[in-house]
Amino acid sequence: MSQLRPAVFAVALTLAIATPAQAAAAPAITVKNGRTQPVFSYADAVREHVYVESTVDSDLDGNLDKVRVDIIRPKESGPRLRVPVIIDESPYYDNSGRGNEGERKVYDAAGNVTKFPLFYDNYFVPRGYAVLNVDMLGTTRSEGCPDIGGKADVLGGKAVIDWLNGRAKAFKPDGTPAVADWTTGKSAMIGKSYDGTLANAVAATGVKGLETIVPISAISSWYKYQRSNGVVYNYDYASWLANYVDTDPEDKCRPVRDKMDAEDGDDTGDYNGFWAERDYIKGLLGDVSKVRASVFVIHTVNDLNVKPDNFSTWWKALADRNVPRKIWVGQTQHVDPFDFEGRRDLWVDTLHRWFDRWLHGVRNGITNEPRADVEIGPAQWITQRDWPAPYALKASLRPSADGSLGLRPAARNSTATFTDVAMSETDMVAEVGQPHPGRVAFTTGELPLSLRLSGTPTADLRVKLDKPASNLTALLVDFGDDTRVDWRRGQGITTLTEEDCHGESTADDDACYRKVVTNVATRPLEIVARGWIDVRNRDSLSQGTPLPPGTYGTVKWLTLPQDYTFKKGHRIGLVVAGTDSTYTSETGTGANVTVDLARSSVTVPFVLGTPLPDVPKDTSRFRGPEKLDLPEPEPGFHFF
């Protein structure tokens, strides 16, 4: 027995030493109240970067392009503690920056990022996530050339998901292989505008490992971003944007840009193979039928940059496929939900719960809650079962020769005429009770009750031309003094000096951002819904067909979607005109347009009984002009 005592003592000593060490071991993922908890140190997080090999050679240099991936993850993450990944892939990290404050990446001497834009890293890394800021191919520190929604854009991001799941190669800065042995492979993609567009695009490939996406003000079809039924918003825009985001010398990617200009079909405005490659609902590289990820959509109905038909058509396609989904619909312009007044805390918590559900598997009930949050007035929100409001009823409003708009058809053979000239929207809606050669206008009487539009109106016109072609514009207008979101000014928000913080900070990367308030203005009218079409594309987006002069033809198309309440005592107006110079670079054709009023209408999905808290009338801090003329959107509305 005495010979065993030294051995027993040694074992006891080993246990005594080991127990405190084990007690101080790295923290594990901790969940409380349905949310992962901040148990990992942000200051001590691993900051590194790798280069993922894609499957494309977009700059035609004979080598596959490599995607620069900047990584921040918990120090404890590794083979024994694998964490999921949140990805923001962007072309904007070294030009316009990200977020309302235009943050850019900041690097240390070793080339690692010390400041990651936005709050995602500050908030989610302590809660057991890795955050990846990915430079889109052709931008910042990635190789290749940007091709604006095409093959390189899509497959570069897909390669990152593949690398996280062991299906693609990556290299450290010294050229040695990089293995993602610290991740579960479960990933999310998030981002506003182009960043969210990349999330839509990669999800449409059906790549395994992408569990959820959060596209904010994102494109689902680049045709819809630069076209409306044959009407061209901006000429040679894709090549312009490619040059804007490119970090290479001017000449390196010039052949790629020249190819875009040759293929974009600006001369006709038709949908062709160029746009099919850049269509994520039903395109050449992927489509909605392949989407494996859940989708949390955020968009605003007054976003005249990434116009809201990009979210409404994507949302409907997802619904038709029964994809797990959630949506927030706001009323500002091109604004991130982090900057929706009064909802920043709710946004961060909702996003947290969404990521916890799909990446950590936390059963927190978020998928059992109302699917849609909808802004119905300045900073006034409701929740509902879905969007658009599932209980909306469609009403057809019909124009008459006396300028009225009602439920009954006009008298047979009654017509109205105008000439297709380029007009601003301000001119189109001015003095609607007076004749104007460039437009016709119709209004209802004062509404006996409030009517909420929720969804997408349909313009249905029977017209004849004296020339083979004309553009048509349909505007649905609310006439009545009211205080509304002033989305034209500052995208609809004013940035304050006061900050609040979400997540942990370091001296190099703080988690604090300036608060915002919603801009409002009291005006006598508001253009609610807009729709444009080239008459030649009335039957097909891919094949324009002239309307024989002197012959009537039916032109039916969807306007942009909206969610808006026409209040009791206001009047609803319909304005029909030619070329809308506010949103297109095209010039009018000069065609004389005759509208058969008896066979023309606009169909609107209306909801009754939506609660509408009064907007305070003391809005002097944010008051806009009260004159009839509407200000045009601020310069640069086409940037994103």
Q: What is the pLDDT of residues 167-210, one digit of tens each?
A: 999 999 999 999 999 999 999 999 999 999 999 999 999 999 99
pLDDT band at 610 (very low <50, low <70, confident <90, very high): low
Q: Catalytic: which of 334, 352, 360, 502?
A: 334
Percent of the residues in the chain that have a pLDDT greater than 70, as a whole number: 91
Residue 8 pLDDT > 70? no
d(CA 304, CA 633): 9
d(CA 529, CA 516): 26
Q: Cβ(93)–Cβ(133) under 8 Å?
A: yes
Identify any residues that bridge with 232 across adjacent strands, giving them in sequence order: 227
pTM, 2 dp:
0.92
Neighbours of 31 (CB within 10 A): 16
Q: Cβ(417)–Cβ(440) under 8 Å?
A: yes
Neighbours of 339 (CB within 10 A): 25
Residue 95 pLDDT > 70? yes
For residue 301, the model assigns a pLDDT of: 98
What number is the average pLDDT over the span 452-459?
98
- Whether a cis peptide bond, with omega within 30° of 0, leads into 613 is no
For residue 616, the model assigns a pLDDT of: 36
Q: Does an H or E element contain 123, and which?
A: helix 120-124
The alpha carbon dihedral of 307, 311, 261, 67 has a sign of positive
For residue 627, the model assigns a pLDDT of: 32
For residue 25, the model assigns a pLDDT of: 67
Q: Does an H or E element contain 388, and which?
A: none
The alpha carbon dihedral of 15, 17, 20, 21 has a sign of negative
For residue 193, the model assigns a pLDDT of: 98
For residue 509, the model assigns a pLDDT of: 97
d(CA 151, CA 135): 15
- Annotation marks residue 509 as catalytic: no
What number is the average pLDDT over the span 307-330?
98
Q: Which residue has the tokens 């079809």?
A: 221
Identify any residues that bridge with 439 across adjacent strands, giving them in sequence order: 436, 577
Q: Cβ(138)–Cβ(157) under 8 Å?
A: no
pLDDT band at 9 (very low <50, low <70, confident <90, very high): very low
For residue 64, the model assigns a pLDDT of: 98
Q: Catalytic: which of 303, 309, 420, 478?
A: 303
Residue 16 pLDDT > 90? no
Q: Which residues contact 304 (CB under 8 A, 6 or more apart)?
A: 333, 583, 633, 637
What number is the average pLDDT over the span 550-571?
97
Q: Tell me how far apart the terminal alpha carbons of the chain are, to the nearest angstrom.
A: 81
d(CA 183, CA 77): 8
Q: Cβ(438)–Cβ(431) under 8 Å?
A: no
pLDDT band at 247 (very low <50, low <70, confident <90, very high): confident
User: pLDDT averaged over the chain?
Assistant: 92
pLDDT band at 609 (very low <50, low <70, confident <90, very high): low
d(CA 366, CA 244): 39
Q: Which residues contact 312 (CB under 8 A, 6 or more apart)?
A: 455, 456, 561
pLDDT tens profile 474-523: 999 999 999 999 999 999 999 999 999 999 999 999 999 999 999 999 99
Q: Catalytic: which of 193, 217, 454, 601?
A: 193
pLDDT tens profile 329-378: 999 999 999 999 999 999 999 999 999 999 999 999 999 999 999 999 99
Identify any residues that bridge with 83 across adjacent strands, giving them in sequence order: 183
Q: Which residues contact 417 (CB under 8 A, 6 or more apart)?
A: 440, 592, 593, 594, 595
For residue 27, the model assigns a pLDDT of: 82
Query: What share of residues in the chain are helix, strand, coil (percent, to 5)?
Result: 20, 35, 45
Q: Cβ(38)–Cβ(504) under 8 Å?
A: yes
Residue type, 545: T
Nearest alpha-carbon partner for 292 in 227, 203, 377: 203
Enumerate the H helices of 290-407 as residue ranges.
309-320, 344-355
Residue 285 pLDDT > 60? yes
What number is the average pLDDT over the span 460-474?
97
Give the least confident one: 16-20, 175-179, 595-599. 16-20
Tell me which DSSP letter residue 155 carries: H
3-class DSSP assignment, residue 34: coil
Beta strands 46-53; 170-171: pairing state: antiparallel
Neighbours of 32 (CB within 10 A): 8
For residue 12, the model assigns a pLDDT of: 39
For residue 608, the model assigns a pLDDT of: 81
d(CA 162, CA 502): 30
Q: Which two tokens stand for residue 397?
A: 């409003």
For residue 625, the model assigns a pLDDT of: 29
Enumerate the H helices of 165-203 as residue ranges.
194-203
- Annotation marks residue 193 as catalytic: yes
- Whether a cis peptide bond, with omega within 30° of 0, leads into 388 is yes
Q: Cβ(367)–Cβ(212) under 8 Å?
A: no
For residue 24, the model assigns a pLDDT of: 55
Residue type, 283: G
For residue 549, the model assigns a pLDDT of: 97
Give the least confident one: 5-9, 175-179, 205-209, 598-602. 5-9
- Annotation marks residue 436 as catalytic: no
Q: Residue 151 class from Cβ within 10 Å (0-12 exposed, 13-18 middle, 19+ buried)?
A: middle
